[in-house]
Amino acid sequence: MPPPVQPALPVFVNLGPRSYLVQVGRDLLKTLGEEVNQKLPDRVKCAVVTDSNVGPLYAETVIKSLRAVGKEPHLITVPAGESSKSLSWSESVLGEMVRFGLDRKSFLVALGGGVIGDLGGFCASIYQRGIPYVQVPTTVLSQVDSSVGGKTGVNLPDAKNMVGCFHQPVHVIADLDTLNSLPKREWNEGFAEIIKHACIRDASMFTAIQDVAEGKGDIVGLIRRNIAIKAAIVEADEYETIGTRALLNFGHTLGHAIEAAAGYGKLLHGEAISLGLRAAAWLSTQIAELTAEDYEHIVALLKLFDLPVRLPDDFDTETLMRIARMDKKFENGKIRFVLLRKIGDAYVSKDVLEGHLKQALDELRK
């Protein structure tokens, strides 16, 4: 008989009084109630915020598990997709929370991908000036990135993540079994953020990523490794004030502009970031020391997951630049742009000018 599969160790996010664990493994939804109860024993009423794809698949298990430990969950479902990450959907979720009688002693469970994590976390951060929330990420992208670190928020029509708060979750439960229902396109988009982590922090992860692409890798190990990278960066710079956390924005300046310009939901977040990663890697060959060989390696890895690396012709440079200028990474007309010296070694540069971004967009069209 093969030995029993050992559960992956949880990742501890050490943020003093805001510390929490990220559970990562399989078959975790059934015991979610017990986990949550250990963390929030005195809180009973809760909102389970989910979307129209994830709710029908997993909400019943989550609700049952919460009820089994005496919690009183209320399900709130928003339409699937990036358009729900908006002020108007926040208002609707908050209104439901009032109607369900949630108070300051209540809590929220965000069950879904990054959209639900960001929207649910944002609602938890402002409801009655803040209630605790638990992240239950169900996409590769949300497990390796958005569920950890406490960035919550919503989009404005023209600019991503423009309204939001830092509000750390009290617990994260990343159940890899939920990924079994993830469509291929959504599975692939998560690898944009994994490739980003490898680019900025861990060149040796390229091989592990390639193995997973070829169907022979250890996905639990890879996801845990990425959560640990994210946790370490957040621990070093929780509020993005000293530059370490800003490294996570590699590929995101143009990526966010492309995502917003396409119209939310047209390109998945990870797809837009894939284009942003190629642009940032190319700029790294022009302004920093990244070699052409390493640049080609990054592009090849993105292609391995069918991620887009060529900007469609209907994206107009001026529109993209207008949107990019509204990004939080533009300060007093200057851009804080993340470049690579080599794979695994990133830094925040002030040498990138608008002209460089336009050149990178031209390059992306090739």
Is 366 among the residues known to form the active site? no
- For 37, the enclosing helix (H) or strand (E) is helix 32-39
Q: Is 325 among the catalytic positions?
A: no
Q: Cβ of residue 127: shortest distance to ligand NAD, in angstroms? A: 18
Active site residue 245: yes
Annotated active-site residue 151? The verdict is yes
- The partner in contact with residue 245, picked from ligand GLY, ligand NAD, none with C-beta cut-offs of 5 to 8 angstroms by kind, is ligand GLY
Q: State which of positions 219-248 bind ligand GLY (CB under 6 A).
A: 245, 248
Choosing among ligand NAD, ligand GLY, none, which partner's interface includes residue 181 (Cβ < 5 to 8 Å by kind)? ligand NAD
The SS3 assignment for 149 reads: coil
Decide if 129 is catalytic: yes
Active site includes 180?
Answer: no
Running DSSP on this structure, what letter comes out for residue 238?
Answer: T
CB of 149 to ligand GLY, least distance (A): 4
Q: With respect to ligand GLY, which residue has the nearer C-beta, 149 or 270?
A: 149
Task: List 154's β-bridge partners, or say none.
Answer: 163
Q: Are 277 and 298 in contact (CB under 8 A)?
A: yes
Q: For residues 22 and 231, is the Cβ–Cβ distance under 8 A? A: yes
**Relative orientation angle of helices 269-287 and 292-304, to the nearest 10 degrees:** 170
Q: Does 113 bind ligand GLY (CB under 6 A)?
A: no
Q: How far is the CB of 101 from ligand GLY (least distance, A)?
A: 33
Residue 169 binds which entry of ligand NAD, ligand GLY, none, CB below 5-8 Å type-dependent:
none
Binding pattern for the stretch 135-174 against ligand GLY, x by CB under 6 A and - elsewhere:
----------x---x-x-----------------------
d(CA 132, CA 106): 8
Measured from the CB of residue 172, what is the shortest distance to ligand GLY in angstroms? 13
The Cα 182–Cα 119 span in angstroms is: 20
Active site residue 230: yes
Residue 183: CB minimum distance to ligand GLY, A: 22
Q: What span, in angstroms and rounded, lies between the C-alpha atoms of 347 and 342?
A: 10
Q: Which residues of 256-280 are buried (b: 16+ CB within 10 A; e: fewer)?
A: bbbbbbbebbebbbbbbbbbbbbbb
- Give the separation between CA 142 and CA 285, rounded to whole angstroms: 30
Residues making contact with ligand NAD (CB under 6 A):
51, 53-54, 57, 80-82, 85, 112-116, 118, 138-139, 141-142, 145-146, 149, 151, 160-161, 178, 181-182, 186, 189, 268-270
238 is catalytic: no
Tokens of 119: 């929207």
336 contributes a contact to ligand GLY by CB under 6 A: no
Total residues interacting with ligand GLY, rule: CB under 6 A: 5
- Nearest distance from C-beta of residue 260 to ligand GLY, angstroms: 16
Give the three-class secondary structure for 19.
coil
CA separation, residue 308 to residues 195, 198, 273, 312, 320 (Å): 13, 18, 9, 9, 17
Look up residue 346 and give its two tokens.
């990133």
Q: Which residues bind ligand GLY (CB under 6 A)?
A: 145, 149, 151, 245, 248
User: Where in the sequence numbering do the catalytic residues fall?
Assistant: 129, 151, 193, 230, 240, 245, 249, 252, 256, 269
